[in-house]
Chain A
Amino acid sequence: MKLYKKEGNIIQILSFPNETVEKGNYLLVEDAEAGKALIVQVIDVQFASIPGILEELLRSLPDGGELIQGEDFDPLEIAPHITYIQDASILICKIRATVENESLSPSSSWLPSRSQSTIRKLSIPTLFKLARIDGRLPIVLGGTKDSSLLTIDASSLDGRLNIITGKKETGKSHLSKLLMLNLIGYKATVVVFDLNGEYISLGMTADGKRNAYHDKTHVLTPSQNFKVALKQLNLHVLLEILIHALHLPGTSAREFRRIWQSLKERDMLNLHELGEAIRNWHCNNHVRDALFSRFYALVNSGFFTDNIAEATFLEECLFKAKEQGGAIIINLRNTSPIDRQIVVEYLLGKLVDLLTSWKLKAVFLFAEEAHIYLRETYWDDIVTRMRHFGIFTTFITNQPDTVRENIYRQADNIFLFNFTNENDLEVVSRAARVDAETVKSIARDLPPHQCLVLGKVVKDFPMVVKVKALDVKTMGETRLFFKEMN
């Protein structure tokens, strides 16, 4: 390999066919004289612009597009040299760091010698050693291109905002399960908004037996084993539900506040009394109608109960998880859109309450397709206010444009699977910890189950990893009509 060109923080390297370099590989451009080296990552591989190549190609197809038949008597065996030159490639590389005296700096301000520099592949373990990517709490994500393991530190997810994105069937949920299970293994509390019931069998192996996580995964299905008593609710949480999930107008909300306070003073906070209070409350009929319609929506959701015994499971699970680590999986599969919003509003409010009062230390929240159930104002809340309370969110989506731009800008880690659509890549490339060229070039060519890891978990050295398999029962398979026939 030979150093060819440098423009900004992009360098071009001439590579020959016997040097197998792929997108995502790291190279070390070492200038012994300067005592420095550049760590660069290959973000694209192109044909080298060889003079005369067009003539060469045209010459082989002069007969109406058919290859001309013939015999070459090439006694000096020049032909292999011709193909060697023809197949030379240019590696477009992004400068990631400078190594000087075994320490890394993000500088790309110096120019290595074009004639004297040596270029060699940098193995992932060596890079990790240089970048000091190690961990007391290792999570093995999978294998890298050079067959070494990519191990991240669980603490690099702590207090961070993460995004897992990629097109359908590329392995996003698989990776989120891998992260979750490892976090549980380190006694973390994990809450999952499970939109499609994909996580409900995490406690089972692929062949249906109990696994090590069985006792640590708690599946909560709203209106079944997950109910709430009005007495447990804070008024502000219920008002959030009424205003944001059920779109209660401001005037009606004020009346509701009065009704609630009246019932609370009399210790009569239950569904029956609430219905009666609305019926008998002195107010405008339109307000009463508005309150009644919301009241029935709450009742019909089945999520609210007057039986306190039925409504303690969430806290029990959270406290159990706090002690020994665990995942609370909120199964939203058969929940209607409005009920989903009610549940999410309640749960987020509850978590904030528990965290504020230090009943919980911190929670890792995994939110699949959050745009479906998360109201507009929560996006900013999650990345700012809730993060300070200790809710560390991982968004999982196959529609990157549904996640707000400021979420990308503040994301600490991005796990990017394959995208072919330019617009999708454009959205992801707005993330602050990513350069657009890397995202666009590498993500487009990622095969299924391979993921480009960006951000703090890899100390800003983007890595391509083949996510390792998990022995858990998968529930994310799509129901197919022709499955039997195939």
Chain B
Amino acid sequence: MNTTLPQRLIELSLHSLKNVQNQTFQLNQQNVQQTNSLETQTNALQLKPQPIPLKPKREETIVAAVDTSSMKIGETSTGMLIAVRGATIWKQNRYYKYMRLGPFIFHITEENKKELYNTLQTAYFNHQHERTHHGLINLLQMPTRIANLLERWLQTMLSKTVNNSLILFDGSLTSGTPDTPTQVMKEILNTARKRGNSVLAFSKMTNLRVNGHLITEIVPLHKPPYMLETTGLKPRPPIVLLGDVYVARLTTGNYAFRLDIDKEVFSEQKVEAVEKLLGNDLLSQSYPETLRLSHILCTFTANEVIAMQHFIARKYGLKIVNRPDMHRLLFGPFGKGDGNS
């Protein structure tokens, strides 16, 4: 197993923290987990009216999923402290198993953000892919960026490790974004395909609309499980769609998700992959348990955030200061943070 990225993550994490010793840091006043949502809307999007009915296929198949999470855990006078963690989970012989990487803690400043991201990207992309937008990265975007790098690495490792399995991604198969270069995503899908794996990407949220309605809210009179195929989705360059987009309603109830399936796979194989998912994983509210667990395992709890703050304070002598929250200070109970301003 290639461990280049985690090795680099550790090195950079330790290096960045060394430069922050004995400073003061303020606890993050809005502990919101960073999530990534990047979708491209086109006007020509249509939903095929005829649902594709699905029958659970019990043929024993490994179901594996990847997710990452990032979090800002505090601010220093020069930057911020963030934590990143990733989890791979797989279901085999009716049991779930996991591998969790992290948390990796970074001290990111305006000065080191470029070097840090550059080094990580180099470690992952092996110099062969175009590195873009470094200078444009906003400090606040860094947690998501680093988490995405880790996620791509985990996805690559998973696609190289399992055979004839179902690989579940959190999000879509959209590429061409700064931290998901098309070439990288293509390679992940190619590797997975060559080893007989099927990649299914579930998006918890979507902005794709047909006639003004979200695609996941259009409910045909058909008994689940089924999928609805979309047509006409043409993203603007440099965004590239590497999957066919479906709306999957896999259990009864009003929950449906955008489901991207590798474009290069035959239609029958796509349907079969979802049917194998139905036959091999628990599905609750139309969402696969493996993917849910990968999310649960990498998400930071408040307890873990306190523990990381404790670690930083102990190991690097950072003094926690509690600067007043300006929103609270100015607006009292009405000041609920940036999100509400």
Contacts and interface: CB of A to CB of B under 8 A. Distances in A.
Contact of B104 (A63, A71, A76, A84): A76
B208 to A, nearest CB: 30
Contacts of B311: 76, 78, 81
B307 to A, nearest CB: 4
A69 B13 contact: no
A400 B97 CA distance: 56
A475 interface: no
Interface stretch (B129-137, B267-275, B298-306): B298-306
Given A56-B301, A68-B98, A76-B105, A81 B6 contact: no
**Residue of B89, B99, B297, B307 with most partner-chain A CB within 10 A:** B307
B104 A75 contact: yes
A53 B303 contact: yes
Contact of B100 (A62, A73, A81): A73
Interface in B272-327: 293, 296-297, 299, 301-308, 310-311, 314
A70 interface: yes
A480 interface: no
A222 to B, nearest CB: 68
Contact of A59 (B301, B305, B308): B301
A324 B163 CA distance: 94
A1 to B, nearest CB: 15
B97 A70 contact: yes
Interface residues of A, number: 24
Contact of A62 (B296, B307, B310): B296
A270 interface: no
A55 interface: yes
B23 to A, nearest CB: 18
A460 B14 CA distance: 54
Given A72-B100, A76-B105, A62 B303 contact: no
A51 interface: yes
A196 interface: no
B104 A85 contact: no
Interface in B60-111: 89, 95-105
B100 A70 contact: yes
A78 B304 contact: yes
Contacts of B96: 62-63, 68-69
Most buried by B among A50, A62, A84, A85: A85
B307 A85 contact: yes
Contact of B307 (A68, A75, A82): A82
Given A63-B95, A68-B96, A75-B10, A84 B101 contact: no
A56 B305 CA distance: 12
Interface string A60-91: 00110000111111111010011011100000
Contacts of B307: 78, 81-82, 84-85
B310 to A, nearest CB: 5
A76 B14 CA distance: 8
B191 to A, nearest CB: 22
B302 A78 contact: no
A52 B100 contact: no
B100 A56 contact: no
B304 A71 contact: no
Contacts of A55: 299, 301-303
Given A68-B293, A70-B98, A70-B99, A75 B304 contact: no
Given A75-B10, A76-B104, A85 B293 contact: no
Contacts of A68: 96-98, 293
A50 B99 contact: no
Nearest to A88: B306
A52 B98 contact: no
B118 to A, nearest CB: 21
B304 A56 contact: yes
Contacts of B97: 68-70
A53 B303 CA distance: 6
B306 A85 contact: yes
A69 B95 contact: yes
A51 B302 contact: yes
A86 B302 CA distance: 11
Given A62-B293, A70-B98, A71-B98, A85 B303 contact: yes
Nearest to B103: A78
Contacts of A81: 307-308, 310-311, 314
Nearest to B13: A76
B302 to A, nearest CB: 3
A76 B101 CA distance: 11
A59 B296 contact: yes
Nearest to A51: B302
B306 A51 contact: yes
A51 B303 contact: yes
Interface in A306-327: none
B102 A74 contact: yes
Nearest to B304: A82
A171 to B, nearest CB: 42
B303 A56 contact: yes
A466 to B, nearest CB: 36
Contacts of A85: 303, 306-307, 310
B225 to A, nearest CB: 22
A78 B301 contact: no
Interface in B1-24: 6, 9-10, 13-14
Contacts of B308: 78, 81
Interface of A: 50-53, 55-56, 59, 62-63, 68-76, 78, 81-82, 84-86
19 contacts: A50-B302, A50-B306, A53-B303, A59-B301, A62-B96, A62-B293, A63-B95, A70-B99, A71-B98, A71-B99, A72-B100, A73-B101, A75-B9, A75-B10, A76-B10, A81-B308, A84-B310, A85-B303, A85-B307
Interface of B: 6, 9-10, 13-14, 89, 95-105, 293, 296-297, 299, 301-308, 310-311, 314
The 3 A-B pairs at the shortest CB distance, nearest first, are namely A52-B302, A52-B301, A51-B302
